[in-house]
């Protein structure tokens, strides 16, 4: 038995004979997989690398199954994928949108139902999935993003170092290819979905955490060295210098991304707050590290909000937790530096910064909704809004003052992207 295993999948091409002539040409996916394997190796994982023709559905399923049999009961699997994503009709009725999502492997698509079924073999293990792909493959959507990526101001986000005029590449299987593949192998794909069975989160013992390259209605960009999502993940990881939870890791990656590509954070299976609170890729089980006895301390205030909000949408709502302090205020800023009132307070304006303390007394409760007039001002010229919560024991003064993010935390401060 072992405590930590990893599988890294990268496909710069697929078998054109399996996809009616389409070869799925990409550039950076093999390097994405190799970079993630290097992280795992440096941490002491037992790693497997599957590239191009090695990344068949049978081989991927076999390696995941081998990990399920080999891992300790409190072990961890790190599974990374870089390549095309796809969609196909949901035959077994377990998807609200009527579509199953897929990874486009070398010889066939691997359906998310198949992966979900595999997670049930892992007992109480932790599973981290990092997927640099996307599932929105319509021709219209791709054309929209090609036009956007041609903008010189955005091109550096999509393909750093790309030659002038080089076309953007996206990791979504074209809709016509996906439809043809499903029609040709419909009975086979439908049988796989029914064989996987209905999803029942309450019955899954494993805790699964997924960070994907974009939202379901967006496209993930390929690159010349790394995909956009993987490139920013590597930058935030900083050769192991990153400190913080998985959610903080996701937020730090999100802060580096353009508003057109918003990485998603999703969990399923057994809820394990200790797992999510760990530093990314930690091999030891939550709570297994030796600890010195001592007084119980507050963890401090925290705030969570949506990762992205359309510009025309109603004002966002945030979840707030203030521990032993009873009262709070919320601050939002177009740039993280604006939280530092001592140094840059003079450049604050009502279009780039807002503190709820300026309009009302300190508040109580577990939720905060941004006033409509404030949202209208802030969204006008901002691409993202950073936010934090401040707490106090008293409503009329800052007594026992605590803050969820410090002035100097920079892009590690959580942010929401404003889309559109």
Structure tokens at 176: 């016509």
pLDDT in tens, 267-305: 999 999 999 999 999 999 998 754 444 444 446 789 998
Q: Across residues 63-81, what is the average pLDDT?
A: 95
- Per DSSP, the residues of 205-264 read -SEEEEEESS-TTS-PBP-SSS-HHHHHHHHHHGGGT--S-HHHHHHHHHHHS-TT---E
Question: Could you give the percent of the chain with pLDDT greater than 90?
Answer: 56
pLDDT score for 193: 84
pLDDT score for 258: 80
- Per DSSP, the residues of 266-308 read EEEES--HHHHHSPTT--SPTT-S------------EEE--SE
Among residues 417, 382, 23, 33, the alpha carbon closest in space to that of 251 is found at 417
Q: How far is it, in rounded angstroms, from Cα 330 to Cα 352?
A: 14
For the cut 80, the answer to whether the pLDDT of residue 187 exceeds it is: yes
pLDDT in tens, 122-139: 999 999 999 999 874 433
For the cut 70, the answer to whether the pLDDT of residue 21 exceeds it is: yes
Q: Which fold has domain 302-419?
A: Immunoglobulin-like (2.60.40)
Q: How far is it, in rounded angstroms, from Cα 182 to Cα 176?
A: 10
Among residues 32, 15, 172, the alpha carbon closest in space to that of 102 is found at 172
pLDDT in tens, 195-209: 876 655 457 899 999
Q: How far is it, in rounded angstroms, from Cα 19 to Cα 105?
A: 10
Q: Which fold has domain 2-277?
A: Rossmann fold (3.40.50)
For the cut 60, the answer to whether the pLDDT of residue 315 exceeds it is: yes
Q: How far is it, in rounded angstroms, from Cα 197 to Cα 195?
A: 5
User: pLDDT band at 164, cuts 50/70/90?
Assistant: very low
Put the strands of the sheet holding 302-304 in their side by side order: 302-304, 317-321, 367-369
Residue count of the chain, please give it.
420
Q: Are 65 and 115 in contact (CB under 8 A)?
A: no
Q: Across residues 148-166, what is the average pLDDT?
A: 46
What pairing do the DSSP bridges indicate for beta strands 126-132 and 71-82?
A: parallel
2-277 and 302-419, same CATH topology: no
Count of beta carbons in the 10 Å neighbourhood of residue 16: 12
Helix (H) or strand (E) holding 14: none
Domain boundaries along the sequence of the chain: 2-277, 302-419
pLDDT score for 91: 67
Half-sphere exposure in the Cβ direction for 392 (13 Å, CA): 13
């Amino acid at each position: 038995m072992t405590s930590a295993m990893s599988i890294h999948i990268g496909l710069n091409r697929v078998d054109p004979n399996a996809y009616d002539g389409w070869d799925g040409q990409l550039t950076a996916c093999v390097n994405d997989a190799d970079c993630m394997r290097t992280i795992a190796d440096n941490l002491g994982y037992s790693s497997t690398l599957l590239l191009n023709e090695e990344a068949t559905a049978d081989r991927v399923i076999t390696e995941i199954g081998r990990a399920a049999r080999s891992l300790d009961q409190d072990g961890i699997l790190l599974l990374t994928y870089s390549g095309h994503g796809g969609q196909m009709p949901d035959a077994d009725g377990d998807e609200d949108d009527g579509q199953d999502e897929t990874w486009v492997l070398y010889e066939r698509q691997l359906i998310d139902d198949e992966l979900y079924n595999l997670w049930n073999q892992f007992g109480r293990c932790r599973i981290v999935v990092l997927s640099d792909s996307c599932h929105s493959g319509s021709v219209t959507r791709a054309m929209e993003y090609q036009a956007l990526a041609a903008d010189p101001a955005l091109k550096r986000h999509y393909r750093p170092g790309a030659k002038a005029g080089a076309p953007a590449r996206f990791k979504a299987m074209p809709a016509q290819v996906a439809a043809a593949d499903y029609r040709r192998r419909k009975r086979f794909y439908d049988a796989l979905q029914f064989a996987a069975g209905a999803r029942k989160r309450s019955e899954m013992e494993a805790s699964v955490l997924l960070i994907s390259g974009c939202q379901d209605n967006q496209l993930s960009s390929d690159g010349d060295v790394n995909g956009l999502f993987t490139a920013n993940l590597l930058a935030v990881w900083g050769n192991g210098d990153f400190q913080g939870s998985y959610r903080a890791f996701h937020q730090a990656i999100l802060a580096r991304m353009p508003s057109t590509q918003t990485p998603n954070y999703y969990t399923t299976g057994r809820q394990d707050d200790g797992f999510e609170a760990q530093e990314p890729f930690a091999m030891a089980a939550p709570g297994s590290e030796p600890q010195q006895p001592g007084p119980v301390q507050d963890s401090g205030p925290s705030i969570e909000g949506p990762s992205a909000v359309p510009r025309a949408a109603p004002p966002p709502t945030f979840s707030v937790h203030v521990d032993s302090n009873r009262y709070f205020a919320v601050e939002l800023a177009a740039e993280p530096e604006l939280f530092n009132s001592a140094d840059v307070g003079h450049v604050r304006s009502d279009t780039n910064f807002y503190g709820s303390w300026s309009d009302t007394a300190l508040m109580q409760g577990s939720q905060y909704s941004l006033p409509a007039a404030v949202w209208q001002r802030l969204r006008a010229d901002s691409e993202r809004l950073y936010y934090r919560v401040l707490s106090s024991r008293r409503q009329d003064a800052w007594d026992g003052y605590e803050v969820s993010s410090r002035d100097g935390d920079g892009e590690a401060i959580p942010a929401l992207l404003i889309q559109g």
